[in-house]
Structure 1
Amino acid sequence: MIPEEVRRILEEMKAERIRGASWMAQKGAEAYLLLSRILSGEELKRALKEMKRAIPEVNRTMASLYNLSRFMPVTDDPELVRSRAEEFLRLIKEAKREIGNIGSELIDSGDVIITHSFSSAVLEVLKTAWEKGKQFKVVITESAPDYEGLALAGELERLSIPFEVITDAQLGLFAKKSTLALVGADNVTRDGFIVNKAGTYLLALACHDTGVPFYVAAESFKLHPELNSEDVEIVERPYSRQGFRVRNFIFDITPWKYVRGIITELGILVPPKEI
């Protein structure tokens, strides 16, 4: 049985509305760390078997949680669990740093970069490019209804990176004024499709129509080794405004043909052949 302290972390993950797959993977690894401190022997082994199911169930669309559950062993040895969880946390940190270095080379001074939602990988690319002395501006969709874009705006303001926030409805209008599109991903399917915040597909279409290169920043643990695009389960959250039910699917799926490349810690991959 999963201890109550660990279940609280899982509930926190389920309740999160702003941060995406990288944060989820980090919190999941921290849950395993805590588990290794609380249990040992057969109790630990039973809890780990339950975690194999519970971690992906937090959000079945996110490949990072699926890969975390595969990465962690089912064992009665708490030291092995601790070392594997720490290794995963280290991989998250190293991957983000490498993505920042690789992705920043795509940015030139004078660029106008459009993005959608909040991605810690995208933030790392922007931050690294800015630290290299490149001067650019970022266009951020507000990303309704959870407004993740406003969270990104707060981070860019803290870093003194110029930006402007637009409503989601102006996405097509501002795409053609941009020189580069950069988004994150919660899942890259086995056949090379991108699962990200709903609206990403529309941005990709707008960029395709206007000739703006569209890139995705995603750590390799967001690449799903088994799932194809037609099998992706898109989560819908209850949402209403002024008494009316509003359909609210969290993610959409962007075909690989609209993606110039996927920036990973392994390099820039061209979908689907290099996935």
Structure 2
Amino acid sequence: MNPEEILDDEISSATVIADNIIKWFIEYKGNDYDLYLNKFRENYYGMGIIEYTCNYLSGYNGKISKIEYAGKLYDLIKKDTDSSVRFSAQIFNRKVSVATISYSSMVRDAIINNMDKIKQVYIMESGPAFEGLSLYDNLSSHGIKTIITTDYSYYEIGKSADILLLGSDLVTVNGDLVHKNGTFPLALTMNYFNKPVYSLTTSEKISNNFNEVDFHRIKNHTKIKGFINRFFDYTYGTLITGYIYEYGFIRPMMVLLIIITVMKVLSPGVRFMRIMQG
């Protein structure tokens, strides 16, 4: 896999890009992979799973094969993702209409797994790839009543949906969320109507080195002077009812505790041992 193709990918989700980085790492024959890993980090700044993947791969010491080393990371991410989706059942304690934005594979799986508790799904589209249409097709194929709206239909969704269920691209240590453009005003809308906002995530997406002041480092996907086209926005944890991650439900204010007690982010401690022990 060509690293330049990965760097130019403006369509795939963060999870797919992370998978492609793992595949590239396994195939790459040179010793300068850190050079490319740094490029991936910067190019996809704001995507927690990519940051985590690159930092983990940077720790390769050659004692085991690349396939085994990268495979352990891949298995861990899948295990945590599946666990988070299972725990999503706790927010569906009654039959509800669900709103979401764009396309998140975790949101997709959570909705399908709990479809007997879902009356209807509202998908707010988010450019530039129109991923919401793909989610619409997927959910509709499972017989789930689904409506897709334009990217400014905040009032309609706020009045119609019972809960907002989001994916996540990155969660900060203070519980804020970096996610698809439109997430912030959509969360504001749901809060205005006193409706809960949940985000599905995993601890691999929690970053201990991203703060709100770093938001400007997220790539602007245009070269037109005076024009901004970032794919993500920033949503304060005060607007989020809770995160659902691989160990269950947590309030945004508790995210830092995860880093201290569970993650040991990007250190060779508890998190690394968890990977190596499977």
Deviation at 1:198, TM superposition (A): 1.0
Query: Which amino acid letter does the alignment assign opposite residue 249 of structure 1?
Result: R
User: CA, structure 1 residues 188+58, in 2 after alignment: closer, same or farther (shift >3 Å)?
Assistant: same
Residue 11 (structure 1) aligns with: 5
Residue 39 (structure 2) aligns with: 54
Deviation at 1:100, TM superposition (A): 1.4
Residue 221 (structure 2) aligns with: 237
In structure 1, which of residues 141, 163, 177 is the aligned counterpart of residue 160 of structure 2?
A: 177
Deviation at 1:96, TM superposition (A): 2.0
In structure 2, which of residues 148, 167, 170 is the aligned counterpart of residue 187 of structure 1?
A: 170
User: TM-score w.r.t. structure 2 length?
Assistant: 0.83
In structure 2, which of residues 188, 194, 197 is the aligned counterpart of residue 214 of structure 1?
A: 197
Residue 95 (structure 1) aligns with: 80
Deviation at 1:148, TM superposition (A): 1.6
Query: What is the DSSP-based 3-state SS (H/G/I as helix, E as strand, rest coil) of the residue aligned with 1:273?
Result: helix
Q: How does 1:114-263 map to 2 (within 5 A)?
A: 114-130=99-115, 133-232=116-215, 233-238=217-222, 247-263=228-244
Aligned length: 255
Residue 23 (structure 2) aligns with: 30
Contact 2:81 2:246 in 1 (8 A): yes
Residue 53 (structure 2) aligns with: 68
User: CA, structure 1 residues 13+102, in 2 after alignment: closer, same or farther (shift >3 Å)?
Assistant: farther
Structure 1 runs, 4 residues or longer, greater than 6 Å off: none
Contact 2:237 2:252 in 1 (8 A): yes
Counterparts of 1:228 and 1:179 in 2: how far apart (Å)?
30
Contact 1:100 1:126 in 2 (8 A): no
Deviation at 1:108, TM superposition (A): 4.2
Query: What is the DSSP-based 3-state SS (H/G/I as helix, E as strand, rest coil) of the residue aligned with 1:104?
Result: helix
Counterparts of 1:20 and 1:96 in 2: how far apart (Å)?
14
Deviation at 1:111, TM superposition (A): 0.7
Unaligned runs of 5+ in 2: 257-278
Q: What is the RMSD computed on CA atoms of the aligned residues?
A: 2.3
Contact 1:187 1:196 in 2 (8 A): yes
Counterparts of 2:32 and 2:193 in 1: how far apart (Å)?
51
Contact 2:123 2:132 in 1 (8 A): yes
Deviation at 1:235, TM superposition (A): 2.2
Contact 2:37 2:58 in 1 (8 A): no
Query: What is the DSSP-based 3-state SS (H/G/I as helix, E as strand, rest coil) of the residue aligned with 1:237?
Result: coil
In structure 2, which of residues 236, 251, 265 is the aligned counterpart of residue 270 of structure 1?
A: 251
Instruction: Tell me the percent identity.
Output: 23
Counterparts of 1:61 and 1:84 in 2: how far apart (Å)?
25
After superposition, the C-alpha distances for 1:36-85 in whole angstroms (9 at most, x for unaligned) are xxx3xxx4xx3232233132133112111111111124556284432221
Counterparts of 1:13 and 1:90 in 2: how far apart (Å)?
24
Query: Which amino acid letter does the alignment assign opposite residue 154 of structure 2?
Result: L
Deviation at 1:120, TM superposition (A): 1.1
Query: Which amino acid letter does the alignment assign opposite residue 238 of structure 1?
Result: T
Unaligned runs of 5+ in 1: none
User: TM-score w.r.t. structure 1 length?
Assistant: 0.84
Contact 2:97 2:118 in 1 (8 A): no
Counterparts of 1:156 and 1:197 in 2: how far apart (Å)?
19
